[in-house]
Chain A
Amino acid sequence: MATNSHALYGEADPATLGGYDEPPPRMGFFTDTSVCIGCKACEVACKEWNAIPEDGLVFTGMSYDNSEGLGADTWRHVAFIEQRKPLAMQDPGVQHEDVDVLALASQGSGTPPEQARITPTTPGEPGQMRWLMASDVCKHCTHAACLDVCPTGSLFRTEFGTVVVQEDICNGCGYCIPACPYGVIDQRQEDGRAWKCTLCYDRLSGGMEPACAKACPTDSIQFGPLDELRERARGRVDQLVEAGETGARLYGEDPHDGVGGDGAFFLLMDEPEVYGFPPDPVVTTRDLPAMWRCVGAAALTLAATAAASFAGAMFGRRP
């Protein structure tokens, strides 16, 4: 029976809490949005691998974003934000004549920041436009509200510490949907059940990395053991801040945050709400013990009310 009622918040290893004796290391994503180029390869790879139906052919006017947000049929979503803030110089007329391609090739794939004309760390003039892109996904929370509230046990914790829906059990009650503090899981209209990212549970079980991480051409999406990812992310954010990109910050990496840390966390260049993330999410079940206490008090009040109603009728005038 899958309840973890004594551990509703705080730092924890979710797989151990979920009842696995010797789980493999917790796996997750580190999405470094500073190198995202908005190619949407992750969206496509996810749809292909998981056979997700089409999610609406619309033109939203939201920059290059036409998939709008995460939902039952969008498990990776690339956000596009246009801002009048300096980040990279957007210079269309880059001259290539004096570039020695062979020398560049011999130096390896990465251009050192001081030589790159367009990097997140090369500030442009004030008033320049910058374009932020970020690939959003289910956070695979340490304390996952969706999983806690699911009445059928359809949502479960895998040995990798991820959160997965068992579609053969879900009865479409829809409780998980408003419970998720990030607006991730949703109901698929034509079939009635709830769907979301599985962190490619099938691929993980076969020793492969998730489809989106595999497809990402810039390694904006990195997959691996969460401990390693956290360490790498801290190094990366320091590197960016040192290079002058003071807006760089990690989101969802802190095991002491309101959901006990995310299995899929992010490096952002601006406030979380700019990307559509909640700035300070808290797992709703953290307050559930207090809720049950209030419910108990109200139930007792009702019982007392009923008793008083009859007692009152005895002393009062009849009828």
Chain B
Amino acid sequence: MSDSEVTRQGLRGTRPDREALIGVAAGRDGEQPPGGDTEFTSYYGRPVINSPVWESPDIPGYLFLGGLAGAASLLASGADLTRRPELARVAKAGAFGGAALSVAALVHDLGKPGRFLNMLRVFKVTSPMSVGSWLLAGFTPLAGISTVSAWTGRAPRWGATATAGAAALGPAVAAYTAALVSDTAVPAWHDGYREMPFVFVGSGATAAGGLGLLAAPAAQAAPARNMATFGVATELTSGQWMEHRLGMVAEPYSSGRSGRYMRAGKVLSVVGLAGALLGRGNRLVNALSGATLLAASAATRWGVFHAGTASADDPKYTVVPQRERLRRGEQARSGDAHTAPPDRTH
């Protein structure tokens, strides 16, 4: 059907197809080239694996808040033990708030949010999401009791027990999300499984330290500053090592949108840490540095999230390393054939 009109000025709204060329003259425009690149083959450049359907800000937020909560629970329990009540209150609230919001973000991302309790239908160690759901199911109420007790002053013994309980689960809460993203076929996530947990706990420590600097009085902020220092150092070194080890698969960590997030994370963490170390004692500088460190941790999570999506969307990251692996396997086999005489009995 044609939408063209005849006017005094001639035809209007004719479709460009009327001038379409055919055969060789048309070239192959309008057709998809069957392969994408010269160095590898793909099916019309289409991704091999299906990209995560997880969405931003839900899932990067879930990763960030979980890390914050886990590390903050450790800060809370340490503050209790060393009698820093202000820092303890802040950290407890961070642990509870982080965990609760992390769960909320996960539930919001579900295709069927009303069925979120199905997460606790089974326990499967093969599913880091199942393990994480059980961890959060234990951690969140403990952090909640600890927070309520700290802010109302009621039931101090329950509060102390809950704080200790949350701190016992805290490291696992901060770290399991690394297994969660790595346990996929997404190249930039899976292949980085060795360093990812360190990037994630580092990022969590940066966030919790940042929160302490932001909200606790300067007189009690020293452990938070130390934790942020450890966090930034761990996050940066393990991230660097991961990018180095992964080779071409790590490209999304330094290019495109994910690369910009990762760079922002690095810059913000260095700036925030410098502020925290140089401006010690100054309440305002502490607060600004703390906020910067929180933003740094979030930027890293967003970067990791988008790097995964980018590496899933480009077949190159799936095909090239697998081809390479096959080629090496073949070489190794033919290497064996040289050393051991081939079996010619049949």
Contacts and interface: CB of A to CB of B under 8 A. Distances in A.
Contact of A148 (B40, B127, B220, B224): B127
Contacts of B182: 284, 287, 291
Interface string A301-313: 1110111111011
Given A278-B49, A285-B183, A310 B81 contact: yes
* Interface size classification for chain A: 35 or more
Interface in A264-293: 271, 273-281, 284-285, 287-288, 290-292
Contacts of A178: 49-52, 184-186, 189, 308, 312
Given A278-B49, A295-B179, A62 B109 contact: no
Contacts of A291: 128, 178-179, 182-183, 193, 197
A314 B84 CA distance: 12
B146 interface: no
B172 interface: yes
B322 A281 contact: yes
Given A273-B319, A285-B126, A173 B179 contact: no
A79 B43 contact: yes
Contacts, number: 293
B179 A273 contact: no
Majority DSSP secondary structure for residues of B touching A: helix
A309 B121 CA distance: 38
A69 B315 CA distance: 13
A37 interface: no
A313 B30 CA distance: 66
Contact of A152 (B119, B171, B190): B119
B90 interface: no
B258 to A, nearest CB: 15
Contacts of B231: 305
A285 to B, nearest CB: 6
Given A81-B43, A173-B111, A273-B41, A149 B185 contact: no
Nearest to B82: A310
Residue from A61, A273, A275, A300 with most neighbouring chain B CB atoms (10 Å): A273
A317 B30 CA distance: 70
Contacts of B195: 294
Interface of A: 1-5, 8, 60-63, 65, 68-69, 71, 79, 81-83, 145, 148-154, 169-175, 177-187, 191-194, 271, 273-281, 284-285, 287-288, 290-292, 294-303, 305-310, 312-314, 316-319
Given A309-B78, A310-B81, 14 more contacts: A1-B124, A4-B126, A81-B34, A169-B118, A174-B111, A177-B52, A181-B185, A186-B50, A280-B326, A298-B178, A298-B201, A302-B201, A305-B230, A319-B221
26 contacts: A61-B30, A62-B44, A69-B46, A82-B34, A83-B34, A148-B127, A149-B129, A150-B124, A171-B113, A171-B116, A174-B54, A179-B184, A182-B48, A186-B53, A193-B112, A274-B43, A279-B323, A280-B322, A288-B179, A291-B128, A295-B197, A302-B170, A302-B201, A310-B78, A318-B219, A318-B222
